[in-house]
Structure 1
Amino acid sequence: MDKYVIQGDTIEKESHQGIIDKSPFIAWIHNISLNQQKYIKSRISKMNLGHDVRYIIFIYDNPDCSQEDLVNMFGQSKGNIAKALRKLEDDGFIKREINPENRRKYMLNTTQKGNNLVPKIRQVSKDWEKEVGITDNDYELKERIKEIAINGMKLIE
């Protein structure tokens, strides 16, 4: 049975998880991201990582990156990133080393434990993509979304 909600002066059909069909595009993108993170977390729950797995993957894919790189990519505060990195370091997934070119910054890298985890996370992510209907044929769509994300980052630089 369809469910309806009042939006201003109109009545609109409600869709899954309370998201209204006429929601802004960005709300749908946010929903996709959150649901993928929930799916991944449910598959690796024994590691108690949650959203922090995305930081491990980013560090793995970008050796010697900085905390600032994570802040820029994920739009999180420096404090939230620092807290997450501290936990990942304490849990043995990443290591921080002083950047010899700028002693006030750290270079981030995954440890062997982090290196071993990334392929598992990637497989869970691929499983999620398959389940939601993302295929290899969606290459152009993925590239366009990346382009939009990069343009958005440039706007706030």
Structure 2
Amino acid sequence: MEGENTQHLAKNSPFIAWIHNISLNQQKYMKARIEELDFDHNVRYIMFIYDNPNCSQDDLVNMFGQSKGNIAKILKKYEDEGYIKRKTNPENRRKYMLNTTDKGSKIVPKIRQISKEWDEQVGLTDEDFEIKKRLMEIAIKGMKLVEEK
């Protein structure tokens, strides 16, 4: 974008549009870099499962705002490819607990490195931690608002 166009956009765009823009551009960057690893941007689900052992499909739906059907399709693909495994939840036999396999766990450091490169390229630093923390708080409040409706 040219400087003049960017200034016009900055003045006239809602803040949430910039958040969405960051997310989309990070996904595009990740997808381009992950192609070398035979993945797409949906690898974020493997990352979430890795970081949240025994999470459920509903946890993914709530976190990423995707439909249950879309999440189920992606999880099936990753299960068939050996990156994740499902285990029946003993507290609710109709639900599954999700975990990464050894194969899935091995891909995580590579993905984290690509994500770190993204952060460096766009100028995110450790000093931006407070901004990240505040955005997470806002996201959690937003999820709770949606759940209440």
TM-score normalized by the length of structure 1: 0.87
Root-mean-square deviation over aligned CA pairs: 1.9
SS in 2 for 1:104: strand
Alpha-carbon displacement from aligned partner over 1:50-86 (angstroms, at most 9, x marks no partner): 2211100000000010000000000110000001101
Task: Name the amino acid aligned to 1:144.
Answer: R
SS in 2 for 1:80: helix
Alignment of 1:11-90 (within 5 A): 14-15=5-6, 20-21=9-10, 22-90=12-80
Question: How many aligned residue pairs are there?
Answer: 146
Identity between Structure 1 and Structure 2 (%):
68
Task: Name the amino acid aligned to 2:6.
Answer: S
- In structure 2, the gaps of 5 or more residues are none
Alpha-carbon displacement from aligned partner over 1:7-61 (angstroms, at most 9, x marks no partner): xxxxxx5339xx9322111111011111111111111103442221110000000
| Aligned mates of 1:25, 1:66 — CA distance in 2 | 31
SS in 1 for 2:86: strand
More strand by share: 1
- In structure 1, the gaps of 5 or more residues are 4-12
TM-score normalized by the length of structure 2: 0.91
Task: Name the amino acid aligned to 1:20.
Answer: L
Which residue, 103, 116, 120 being the options, matches 2:106?
A: 116
SS in 2 for 1:50: coil
- Aligned equivalent of 1:10: none
Larger-Rg structure: 1
**Is 1:133 paired with 2:128?**
no
SS in 1 for 2:9: coil
- Cα contact 2:34–2:41 (8 A) shared by 1: no
SS in 2 for 1:76: coil
Task: Name the amino acid aligned to 1:62.
Answer: N
Higher relative contact order (CA 8 A, sep 6+): 2
Per-residue deviation, 1:2: 5.1
List 4+ stretches of structure 1 deviating above 3 A: none
